[in-house]
Amino acid sequence: MEKQTIQTIGHPIQVVSRRTGLTTDRIRAWERRYKVVIPRRTETGRRLYSDDDVGKLLLVQRALAGGRRIGEVAGLGNDQIRALLKDDAAVTRIEMATRPKAANPLSEYLDSVHNLNPEALQASLSRAAARLGGEAFISQVVGPLMREIGELWSQGMLDPYLEHCSTAIVRKSLQEMLFAAPGKEGAPVLVVATPSGQLHEIGALMAGALASVRGWRVLYLGVDLPAEDIASAARRSHARAVALSVIYPGNDPKVQAELDKLARLLHGKSLLIVGGAAAKSYSDSLLRSGAALFEDTETFLDSLTRLLTNP
C-alpha cells in the first residue's frame, strides 16, 4: 500500500488559513469566483488543499500586494506567478534606483540591501548607532528598516536571499549592542525569548538591547522555547520581568496555550511583557492574566520604567 503523506492527504481549510493569513471566507471566495485553487473534496464534502494550493494562495497575495488584479493572476500557474513577481520586482528596483535619495531616510541602508553589500550595510548601521545612541538607533533606524524590508519582501520587491542577508546583519548589530553593556551586579533581570513556534528573533533582540542600554541585566534565551523553560530561567535568575516577541501567526491556539501556561507558571513573580506584530491578537487573555503589551519601543521602555518606580 502506498504510504500517505501530508501532500497526498491534503490540508483542511483551517490549516491553510493559518499558513497563509487569509480568512476562510476569503479562500472560499477566491475559489468560488476566480478558481484560484480547486481543492479536492472528501466523501463528506470537506475541502482538502495541496501544498501547491497553499503556495499559490501565498503567491497570489504577493501579486495583489504589488498592485496586480486578481483576474490577472487567478488562472496562472505557480511558476508563472513567480516569474511575474520577479519581473515586477525588477521594474520596482529600477524605479527605486532613480528616485532621489532624500525621499527616503532609509535609502542609505536600502541601497546596501538591494546591492547585496552587507559590508556597507554593517558600516552604515555602526555609524548610525554611534551617532544616535542605542535607544534612538533602535527606534529610528532598526525598527523602520526591518518594517520596510518586510514590506518589500511581502510585495515581491525583495528577493528572499536579500531579506535573509540584511536580517543577519541587523541581528549582528543588535547582538553586539545587547552584549556590549552587561548589567551591573544587583541590576534588575529581564529574561528575553520567543515562545514555542516563534522563530523570528529581531523583535526579541530589540527588546533585549533596549533593556541593556537602560541598565538591566538581560538574560537572552533565544527563540522557540517552551513555557516551562522560560519560567525556569525567570525563577532561577529572580527576573523582574519576562519579555516575549510574537510575530506570526495571530489567534493561534498553540501560541495562546503557551502564553497562558507561561503566565500561570510565573505566578505573578515576574511581569510578562509581550510585543510583536501578532501580540495584539492575544491581548484579552494576556491582560486578564496581568501581563503587559507593548506596541513599540516607547511603550516597552515605559513598562520597564514602571517596574523600577513601582516595585
Q: For domain 181-309, is the CATH number 3.40.50.280?
A: yes
The fold for domain 6-85 equals Multidrug-efflux Transporter Regulator; Chain: A; Domain 2 (1.10.1660)
Residue identified by cell 510585495 is: 155
Indicate where the chain has its CATH 1.10.1660.10 domain(s).
6-85
Enter the C-alpha cell of residue 284: 484579552
**Pairing mode of beta strands 189-195, 40-41:** unpaired
| C-alpha distance from residue 39 to each of 36, 62, 112, 158 (Å) | 10, 21, 42, 30
Measured at the CA of 277, the angle between CA 237 and CA 254, to 5 degrees, comes to 70
Write the pLDDT tens digit of every residue in 126-170. Answer: 999 988 888 899 999 999 999 999 888 877 888 899 999 999 999
Write the pLDDT tens digit of every residue in 248-299. Answer: 888 889 999 999 999 999 998 999 999 998 898 888 888 888 898 888 888 8
Indicate where the chain has its CATH 1.10.1240.10 domain(s).
99-178
| pTM, two decimal places | 0.66
Q: Give the DSSP letter of residue 11.
A: B
The fold for domain 99-178 equals 1.10.1240
Compute how many other C-beta atoms are within 10 angstroms of the C-beta atom of residue 107.
14
